[in-house]
Amino acid sequence: MEEFITINRTKEEVELMSPLTWAYIGDAVYELYIRNKLINETNLKPHKLHIEAIKYVKAKSQAEKLNEIYETLTDDEKDIVRRGRNTQNHHLPKNSNVQEYMYSTAFEALIGYLYLTKQNTRLEEIFDKI
């Protein structure tokens, strides 16, 4: 059976993308991971699932998760994080400060990069740590 979602970019093409593009898809991948985890581990109703998911996907939580795993990242992954953190982004959400938002973008960029480059085993390892 063919994969439901396919990625049609080479690693070289992904590396040329903006870190904000990595963060864009990383945000979706991480939220889907959290939603699946909640559905598999709880019996909450949809509204409560949403409330619980927000606790994990908000900028402050993502920044904290990045801090927790940072020392376990490879040098290449730390470079992806640095690029994501330093990317110029003119959007700031209501409920976080600039530093939290920069680090949450870095976290999402890492998740997105690993996803787009099909490093699924590594992505699972990181999800297991958080």
Phi and psi (nearest 5°) for 85? Answer: -65, -40
pLDDT number for residue 90: 61
pLDDT digits (tens, 9 = 90+) for 63-120: 999 999 999 999 999 999 999 998 877 676 667 788 888 999 999 999 999 999 999 9
- Within 10 A of 23 (CB to CB), how many other CB atoms are there? 24
Residue ranges of domains in the chain: 11-129
- Is 79 a residue of the active site? no
Kindly write down the DSSP assignment for every residue of 9-39, as one continuous string.
--HHHHHHS-HHHHHHHHHHHHHHHHHHHHH
Query: Where is average pLDDT lowest: 1-10, 17-26, 34-43?
Result: 1-10
Give 124's contacts (C-beta < 8 A, 6+ positions apart): none
The highest-level CATH class for domain 11-129 is: mainly alpha
